[in-house]
Amino acid sequence: MKLSSLSEINKKQVALHYRNEYTAKALFQTIDGRTTEKMIEFIVERTPTGKKHIQIRFVDAPDYPLLPLFKSLKEEIHSLDSKGLLL
């Protein structure tokens, strides 16, 4: 399963300035060409050393090993954040 895109990214209101919480729809493509959409929640938190820590939670649990999905999602979220597209 491969991540195709993240859409409908919505930022939640959080009182902490170093922590941003979001919800989004993740569109995945399977090896046989089918697509599946899963709701996710993720947090981008800046640590005291300046690094960004990303946490992901699936609202809709996928029927697929989670480690490769988390890796591709973290790469995409990091890319969107570094481009300034997560507001």
Q: What is the dihedral angle through the alpha carbons of 22, 56, 45, 13, rounded to the nearest 10 degrees?
A: 20
Would you state the pLDDT for residue 60? Answer: 85
What is the tally of structural domains in the chain?
A: 1
Average confidence score pLDDT of the chain: 92
Would you state the pLDDT for residue 30? Answer: 85
Confidence of residue 42 (pLDDT cuts 50, 70, 90): very high
CATH of the domain at 67: 3.10.450
The reply to whether 87 falls in a domain is: no
Confidence of residue 38 (pLDDT cuts 50, 70, 90): very high
φ, ψ of residue 66 to 5 degrees: the values are -80, -30
16: closest CA among 45, 38, 37?
Answer: 45
The reply to whether 27 falls in a domain is: yes
69: closest CA among 36, 21, 33, 23?
Answer: 36
The reply to whether 18 falls in a domain is: yes
Instruction: Please say if the pLDDT value at position 55 is more than 90.
Output: yes
Q: Which residues, at least 6 apart from 25, have a Cβ–Cβ distance to it below 8 Å?
A: 6, 7, 8, 37, 38, 39, 40
Instruction: Please say if the pLDDT value at position 23 is more than 80.
Output: yes
The reply to whether 25 falls in a domain is: yes
The reply to whether 75 falls in a domain is: yes
